[in-house]
Every structure is written in C-alpha cells, then in structure tokens.
C-alpha cells in the first residue's frame, strides 16, 4: 500500500524525516502444508453487488506430521467487520459460508473468536493431499477501497481483493494467521497457481492478476506462481498498453478531463520503474502487469498484488484543486504537492511491490518494513533520484522549470549528506524498524516505522557499504528468496555476507530490535 506522501520532487527535492535517527536461520521456502492450486468460479452480480464464489483448493501435506484440521481464511469477514464499525454504507454487507466439502463429502467447521478463521474438521496425514471446496456468498460493500464498489462516471467500479477464501500458512507446526489490519496488510501466503472463471456483465472490462481473456461475459484468468489473485472490473474502463523489458503493461483508466495526461504519465512512470528496478534488483517473474485507476480513500495512493496494482486517481477523477498541502508528521514542514507528482510516486511505489511482496514474500503483519520499507527505498531512492522521461513529463505538466540532471545530482548529494549525519551520530537513540504492526516502538507510529524508517535503514546500509556492495547484496537477497518468503534475519544474513564490518553492524544495531528477529 502507498501512503501519501513521504518524498516530493519539486524545484528542489525536499527530504522529510520522522526523527533525527537518532547463527544462520533460513525461512522455509514453503509452508509444510500448502495449497498448490486454486480453481475458482466467481459470479459478480452488479445489481445486488454480490459475489457468489466456489473455491476448490488442492492441499498437500509435505511435512512429517499429521494435522486434525485445515484452516481456511475467509478474510472478507474481517474486512466487513471493520467496515461495519467505520462506514455507514457498509453495515448491511455480509459474508456467508454456505458449505465446505472434500471430494463430495460435506465437512463441519468451527470459527472460534475470529470468524474469519474456519477450522475445518478434515485431517491430513503426512504425504497426503486433498481437494477442499468452499462455497461462500459475499456482499461487496460500497467503499472506495481495495475491496468494495464505487460509483464513478455514471457507472461502477469493483475492486475485488481480500474477499476470496484461501488456505492459511502452516509453518513451524502451527497455522499462522493475523487479524485483519485495515491501515496495512496481514497477508502471509505461499506461491500457488490460480485458475479463475469470472462471470460479469458483458459491458465490464476486467483487469486481474496473471493473464486473462474475456468472451461473452466470462473472463478466464490464469495466474501461475502467485501469492494471491486480485480482480478489478468496471463498465467505464478504457485500456492502453506499453511494455518494458519484454513485460506487457496494461493501464485501465477512467475517462475525464485529464485522463489523457493521467494515462500517459502512468504508463511512462511504469516503464521507467520497471527498467530501473529490473536493473538494480532483478528480473520480474511474470509476463504482464495490470494497473487500474480508482478512488482509494483518504491518504491511500495505491495497493499492490502480484501482477496487478490499484492506483488512486482522486486528483484526476474528482473536482479538486490542482495543488494541495499535506502535513504528514507534526515535526515536519507542510509539503505542497501536485497530483502529477503524486501519481508518479504512487505508480513507482506499487510497481516496486512487484519485487518486494510479490516476488520476495514476507509476513506483512509481523515485519511490515520488509515490503513497505524496501519498496519505499525503490520509489524514493531509485526512481525518484534518477533522471527519467516520466519525471521530465511530470515537470512539464507542473510547469516546473527546475527539473534537470543537475538538480537530480544535487538531490543525490543532499541525501548522501543527510544519511552520513545519521551514521555519524554514535550516541543517538536507536529507532527500530522490524517490529509487528501492533507493537511499534513507543512514540513511533506503525506507518512511520514501516515506510519512513524502513526506507532510511537500507539507505544507511547503502551509504555505509557503498553502492556496489549494497546492490550486489540486494540482488542476491532477491534471487535467493525469489518466489519464496523471507524474514529480517534472512535479509541481514545476505547483507553480512557482503559486508560484516563494525560499521555495518553498527547500522544494523541502530535499526534492528534483536528481540523481534525471526
């Protein structure tokens, strides 16, 4: 997810900072019990705003122990429970599990305190596999967010994510799950293959994770080696395309006064981001990426999924002032930003998540910095600080005459100087980055920990190690955990492989709380 707004490019690049900063354990590549395939039949009723879902998951026990039950997560319950408490328009929306079966046999289940958790009474011995089918009917709430429908341009747009049942991870002899966390994410999923048939009115264009084709109201989606599937459908979408490094990029956008500028800038930013992140981190694993424009609510710039990113288009769809002032932290000066700069930041950030979250997975609830911090680093310190065609076009749209190669060099020098000051403050208070979303350091906001401090930690490592060593380590980390799941400890092991000096360990100790290493 992209929070608005951390770093802004204008006539001079302004760096905002939260504070003056002040033995090998490898993560399992896969959970021992996992769903290797999902077969999904989904019907979208746009009159009732309702999903009818039949999800069949092929589950394999690759471990050495048997289990007495299987944990299915119907995450839509957690989403709607939150919505009921915060949005009047969502209070009648509900999700109902009709039945769960295995090979035609109806199964019972219990929920316990959190009704998102369906503990299915189905044992699975070591080495065995089974097919589990979940039938559920879920209302789509009226909410401008990652799961919900919104009325736009005299039509409708459906963001369908966090609404499909899935098998929880089974690691270290237990089922792993987290409560729904609306300001961020609580995902923790292994790679699987998804085959989806989505039925929707013929007037709707569909974007989705993976590759898809639509014929006579049925969209067939094949998403291989992905952590989840997200779907966006609208009867008001236009579609345009570009490519980068052989990857097809599809932009689904809404018509409006500035739609041509939105479409062009979004595609240019996507292309530049792909080229830069591929060069500095590694190869993107999929053939396509879909971008979708929508309204995503206050302070949300975008949302990431494997093969699909949602981008907030509020500044282009709504009738708002061209410029607006954001004051993110009480100790920082207000920032005057522009919708075009916001768009480049949002697109670069969400595309960065294709590398960190989509390809290299992590437990977003327990270690949110691993995806948000590293992605903020890609956005702010690679895309934003590289002279690019998309930034040139953005400056042109903003009538900014100061964006040039010299200004970008000055911005890089300013950032290096700032990071050196952090490094050279030996008595400064430690500011930890690797805590769970529900246990940030006292006085530190969870978002600040994950995004801001999570961005500064790799910057400090890069300055201390030197760019050559740091990017070699980052590339190694990406390749080692490519389509797997990593932890902070795994990241540190790779860093120390390239530089285990006192200076690097000093930086690590400044930002990493050893009590929360996993």
Contacts of 322 (CB under 8 A, 6+ apart): 338, 339
Q: Is 350 one of the catalytic residues?
A: yes
Burial 161-182 (b: 16+ CB within 10 A, else e): bbbbbbbbbbbeeebbbbebbb
> Could you give the CA distance from residue 424 to residue 74 in angstroms, rounded to a whole number?
49
Q: What is the 3-state secondary structure (H, E, C) of 231-251?
A: EEEECCEEEEEEEECCEEEEE
Residues of each annotated binding site for Zn(2+): 349, 353, 372
Query: 431 and 410 in contact (C-beta within 8 Å)?
Result: no
Q: How far is CA 517 from CA 175, 355, 488, 493, in A?
A: 20, 22, 6, 12
Residues of each annotated binding site: 349, 353, 372
> Could you give the CA distance from residue 362 to residue 466 in angstroms, rounded to a whole number?
26
- Cα angle 204, 298, 321 (rounded to 5 degrees) comes to 90
Catalytic residue selected from 158, 305, 451, 478? 451
Phi, psi of 343 (to 5 degrees): -65, -45
Largest CA distance in the chain: 69
Six-digit token string for 288: 């396509």
Q: Is 451 one of the catalytic residues?
A: yes
Q: DSSP character for 258?
A: T
Catalytic residue selected from 185, 288, 350, 364? 350
Q: Which residues are catalytic?
A: 350, 451
């Amino acid at each position: 997810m992209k929070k608005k707004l951390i770093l802004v490019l204008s006539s001079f690049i302004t760096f905002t900072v939260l504070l003056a900063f002040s033995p090998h354990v490898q993560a399992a590549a896969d959970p021992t019990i996992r769903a290797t395939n999902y077969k999904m039949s989904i019907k979208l009723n746009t009159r009732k705003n309702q999903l009818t879902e039949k999800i069949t998951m092929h589950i394999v026990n690759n471990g050495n122990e048997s289990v007495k039950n299987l944990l299915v997560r119907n995450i839509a319950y957690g989403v709607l429970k939150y919505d009921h408490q915060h949005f009047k328009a969502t209070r009648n929306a509900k999700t109902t599990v009709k039945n769960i079966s295995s090979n035609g046999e109806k199964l019972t289940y219990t929920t316990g305190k959190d009704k998102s958790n369906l503990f299915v009474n189905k044992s699975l011995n070591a080495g065995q596999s089974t097919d589990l089918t979940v039938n559920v009917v879920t209302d789509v709430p009226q909410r401008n967010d990652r799961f919900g429908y919104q009325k736009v341009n005299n039509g409708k747009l459906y963001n369908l994510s966090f609404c499909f049942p899935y098998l929880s991870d089974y690691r270290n002899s237990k089922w792993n799950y987290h409560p729904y966390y609306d300001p961020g994410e609580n995902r923790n999923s292994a790679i699987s293959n998804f085959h989806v048939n989505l039925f929707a009115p013929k007037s709707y264009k569909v974007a989705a994770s993976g590759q898809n084709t639509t014929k006579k109201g049925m969209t067939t989606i094949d998403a291989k080696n992905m952590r989840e599937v997200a779907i966006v459908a609208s009867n008001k979408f236009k579609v345009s395309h570009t490519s980068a490094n052989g990857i097809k990029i599809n932009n689904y956008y809404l018509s409006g006064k500035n739609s041509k500028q939105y479409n062009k800038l979004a595609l240019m930013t996507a292309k530049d981001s792909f080229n830069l992140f591929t060069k500095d981190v590694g190869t993107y694993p999929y053939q396509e990426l879909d971008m979708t424009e929508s309204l995503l609510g206050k302070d949300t710039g975008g949302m990431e999924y494997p093969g699909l990113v949602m981008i907030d288009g509020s500044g282009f769809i709504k009738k708002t002032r061209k410029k607006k002032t954001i004051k993110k932290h009480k100790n920082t000066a207000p920032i005057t930003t522009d919708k075009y700069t916001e768009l480049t930041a949002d697109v670069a950030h969400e595309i960065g998540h294709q590398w960190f979250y989509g390809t290299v997975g992590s437990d977003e609830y327990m270690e949110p910095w691993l995806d948000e911090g590293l992605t903020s680093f890609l956005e702010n310190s690679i895309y934003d600080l590289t002279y690019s065609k998309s930034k040139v076009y953005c400056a042109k749209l903003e009538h900014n005459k100061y964006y040039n190669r010299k200004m970008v060099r000055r911005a890089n020098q300013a950032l290096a100087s700032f990071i050196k000051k952090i490094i050279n403050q030996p008595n400064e208070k430690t500011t930890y980055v690797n805590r769970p979303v529900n246990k940030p350091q006292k006085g530190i906001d969870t978002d600040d920990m994950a995004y801001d401090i999570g961005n500064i930690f790799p910057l400090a490592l890069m300055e201390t190690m030197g760019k050559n060593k740091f990017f070699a380590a980052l590339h190694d980390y990406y390749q080692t955990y490519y389509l797997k799941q990593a932890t902070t400890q795994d990241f540190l092991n790779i860093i120390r492989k390239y530089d285990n000096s006192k200076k690097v360990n000093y930086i690590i100790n400044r930002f990493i709380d050893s009590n929360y290493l996993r």
